């Protein structure tokens, strides 16, 4: 094989690899944006229910807002953002929003660049962690779509962002 043919082969293989990577990236982004994201409207309590009490949820919350000493919210996107919050009102809104989350069917969707992690430090020193990736709740190896309550959680997390000192890591 001549030198120019070898160079063409190497360049061709490199371009093919770049093309395959671009296609994989497009498919991954489409998969991350597919599926239900949950309602963007906050849940409206019925007239007969106690508005301060959280609604039934598919998430297993074995603590209340009063049990939480602090909340760390880690948002993964183009960069990693970490928000520390000790504001009882903001923490209560996040706990109540989590309690209103309704989960859907199991899914195989993955989002490697869009995730939220909520770490609750309880008064007894233990931690509770909840992971979400692009509209999907992740619990170990099980991934389930969020059918409703995502809007209320997003609003509560906005309050956490506003009430905390932000630290940005990359």
What kind and span of H or E run contains 96?
helix 88-99
Instruction: Kindly report whether the global pTM for this prediction surpasses the value 0.85.
Output: no
Residue 15 lies in a domain: no
The C-alpha atoms of residue 92 and residue 65 are separated, in whole angstroms, by: 5
Q: Is residue 13 part of a domain?
A: no
Q: Is residue 128 domain-resident?
A: yes
Q: Which residues form the domain of 143?
A: 65-169
- In SS3 terms, 28-55 reads as HHHHHHCCCCCCCCCCCCCCCCCCCCCC
Q: What is the pLDDT of residue 88?
A: 93
Please state which of the ranges 43-47, 112-116, 144-148 shows the lowest mean pLDDT: 43-47
Mean pLDDT (the chain, rounded): 76
**Mean pLDDT of all residues in 150-163:** 89
Say if 109 falls within a structural domain: yes
Four-residue CA torsion sign, 70, 74, 80, 83: negative
Using alpha carbons, select from 84, 82, 43, 90 the residue that is nearest to residue 65. Answer: 90
163 Cβ partners below 8 Å, 6+ apart? 85, 87, 89, 90
- φ and ψ at 147, to 5 degrees? -80, -35
**Structural domains counted in the chain:** 1
Per the domain annotation, does 120 fall within a domain? Answer: yes
**What's the average model confidence in pLDDT over 61-83?**
90
Residue 91 predicted with pLDDT over 70: yes
Please check whether residue 38 lies inside any domain of the structure: no
- Is 86 inside a domain boundary? yes
Tell me whether residue 106 is in a domain.
yes
For residue 40, what pLDDT is reported?
A: 41
Contacts of 51 (CB under 8 A, 6+ apart): 45
158's CB contacts (< 8 A; 6+ apart) are: none
């Amino acid at each position: 094989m001549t030198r120019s043919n070898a160079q063409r082969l190497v360049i061709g293989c490199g371009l093919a690899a770049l093309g395959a990577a671009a296609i994989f990236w497009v498919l991954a982004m489409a998969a991350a944006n597919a599926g239900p994201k949950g309602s963007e409207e906050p849940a409206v309590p019925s007239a007969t229910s106690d508005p301060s009490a959280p609604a039934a949820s598919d998430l297993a919350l074995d603590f209340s807002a009063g049990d939480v000493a602090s909340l760390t919210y880690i948002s993964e996107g183009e960069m990693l953002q970490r928000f520390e919050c000790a504001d009882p009102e903001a923490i209560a809104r996040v706990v109540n929003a989590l309690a209103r989350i309704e989960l859907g069917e199991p899914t195989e969707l993955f989002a490697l660049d869009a995730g939220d992690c909520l770490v609750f430090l309880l008064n007894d020193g233990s931690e509770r962690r909840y992971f979400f990736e692009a509209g999907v709740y992740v619990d170990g190896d099980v991934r389930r779509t969020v059918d409703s309550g995502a809007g209320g959680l997003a609003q509560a997390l906005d309050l956490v962002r506003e009430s905390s000192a932000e630290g940005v890591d990359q």
